[in-house]
Amino acid sequence: MFKQFDKLFGIDLGTSNTVIFEKGKGIVLNEPSVVAFDNHTGELLAAGSEAQAMIGRAPAHVDITYPLIHGVIANFDKTSKMLNYFIKKIQGRPSFLRSSQIYITVPCGITNVQKRAIEETIVHRGAKKAIAIEEPLAAALGAGLMLDEPIGHLVLDIGGGTCQVAVLSLGGIVASHTINQGGLSIDRDIMDYVKRQYNMEIGERTAEQIKMQIGTAVLTAEERSIEVRGRDLVHGLPRSIRLVSSEIYTVVNEFLDALIDAIRATLELCPPELAGDVMEQGILLCGGGALLEGIDERIRAETGVSVHRAEHPLECTALGAGLMLGVYRTKSRPLMHDTSTEEQIAVSQ
């Protein structure tokens, strides 16, 4: 018999974005994992979208940072305050975690010490219980896969700070591979390319817009373009240029090669039966990087395995964490779950 809690929350605490799922309501928050602090007073000025809007526009005494690096908490104090900010935003008070059970996602492969540290951060915010769950498991569950079956599934989670490849079967991770690259590294590569090729400096937000509007994993006959404004490095004056999609294709190529190598490395670790399952079931693509144009086509062409994008790639991990009510794992038993709840269709459009 499971202990009852007043509320159940699933939190996908990512390098780029934090997504919170509440049982009975669905996704209640999806905000950038960014904080803005006053260096003079130590006061938290803003978090999420409000802090992200300050990037490149704040005075020198305002420090704007991502408190997570490669999916792992780099600054516990800032992460804790960011969560408190989000909690207050969705509930109107910072105490909504009390008497709540929280499932929080973590990258696969992190140490037990790192897992406990993340759980303790949530408990210190008032939760009665916090349980860390590996992101690929949560993503697969949120995408509707039945994890307790003896069938191999390959999940590719492309986040802001990491890309995780995992083969799942019987509720556990059989093989996995993680690379410390993601959407943020693509943004940095775009910034470097513009600086090197055009002697012009652009900000993180501009690089992200370039990636979203003309970024592509495959070359197409139709070129798309975008006007980009920045600062001329020679004269120090404002300047604009026009970038085309084939340029961004060249920029993201190295990242995509590393991603495909990670898929191959993971499949090489699988027993033949599970590798056969993956060929039949295909690859589940989730995370923000799943939205890069043509990435499914590129992976399919390079690996020979069909690729399926999750219906809600940005939110399925938090959804899966929220659906873990009644989940329990022991060394001798597989992951058990109940996916009959209606919250699966409560994801915001």
Cβ pair 122, 130 in contact under 8 A: yes
Q: What is the pLDDT of residue 325?
A: 59
Q: Which residues belong to the annotated binding site for ATP?
A: 160-162, 208-211, 288-291
Give pLDDT tens digits for 138-159: 999 999 998 888 999 999 999 9
Domains of the chain: 7-143+314-345 (3.30.420.40), 147-309 (3.30.420.40)
Mean pLDDT lowest among 122-136, 156-170, 284-298, 323-337: 323-337
Cβ pair 288, 17 in contact under 8 A: yes
Give the whole-angstrom CA distance, residue 275 versus residue 302: 16
Record the tokens describing residue 260, joined without a space: 């495909």
> 67-79 burial, b if ≥16 CB within 10 A, otherwise e?
bbebbbbeeeebb
| Strand, helix or coil for residue 42 | coil
Measured in residues, the chain has a length of 349
Give the whole-angstrom CA distance, residue 110 versus residue 112: 7
Is pLDDT at 289 greater than 70 in this prediction? yes
Give the whole-angstrom CA distance, residue 64 versus residue 36: 4
Q: Which residues belong to the annotated binding site?
A: 160-162, 208-211, 288-291
Sequence-separated (6 or more) residues with CB below 8 Å from residue 150: 169, 170
pTM of the model: 0.87
Give pLDDT tens digits for 33-70: 999 999 999 999 999 999 999 998 999 999 999 999 98
Cβ pair 303, 263 in contact under 8 A: yes
Is pLDDT at 2 greater than 50 in this prediction? no
Give the whole-angstrom CA distance, residue 173 versus residue 226: 41
Q: What's the pLDDT band for 331 if we cut at 50, 70, 90?
A: very low
What's the whole-number average pLDDT of the chain?
88
* Mean pLDDT value across residues 88-110: 78
| 54 Cα distance to chain centroid | 22
Q: What is the pLDDT of residue 5?
A: 58
Ranked by mean pLDDT, the top range of 145-149, 158-162, 218-222 is 158-162
Q: What is the pLDDT of residue 257?
A: 97
Q: What is the pLDDT of residue 339?
A: 32
258 vs 83, residue with greater confidence:
258
Record the tokens describing residue 228, joined without a space: 């980009």
* Mean pLDDT value across residues 320-343: 48
